[in-house]
Amino acid sequence: QSALTQPASVSGSPGQSITISCSGTSGDVGNYNLVSWYQHHPGKAPQLLIYEDSKRPSGISDRFSGSKSGNTASLTISGLKAEDEADYHCCSYAGTTLHYLFGTGTKVTVL
């Protein structure tokens, strides 16, 4: 099986908005409303940001938003802050054989 495809890196200045894409197939991202996004600061536990394509868990800032179009999901971070500098991973349910596929990961740099 193949991982979902994310850009290796995305950068932006404080206050700007950035978008990270997560490209899959009609067997995973495009077939289920079950894409999730995780923020990961190195050395710490990854944190859930978005689930079911666009829902935010309680306690997650509304600066983080998720969307999906066809086989591609996206995470948008608005009002970029220095603390947003981290790695971001998408994940999709992919059926009863592959179960869960993660993305290749994106490093976000705040300039």
Q: Which positions lie near another protein, rule CB under 8 A?
A: 1, 3, 6, 32, 34, 36, 38, 43-48, 51-52, 57, 89, 91, 93, 97-105
Indicate the residue type of 54.
S
Residue 31 Cβ, how far from another protein at the closest point, in Å? Answer: 13
Task: Judge contact between 93 and 100, C-beta under 8 A.
Answer: yes
The Cα 21–Cα 67 span in angstroms is: 10
Nearer to another protein, 49 or 77 (CB): 49
Nearer to another protein, 74 or 106 (CB): 106
Nearer to another protein, 56 or 63 (CB): 56
Query: What are the tokens at 104?
Result: 């290749």
Task: Judge contact between 52 and 34, C-beta under 8 A.
Answer: yes
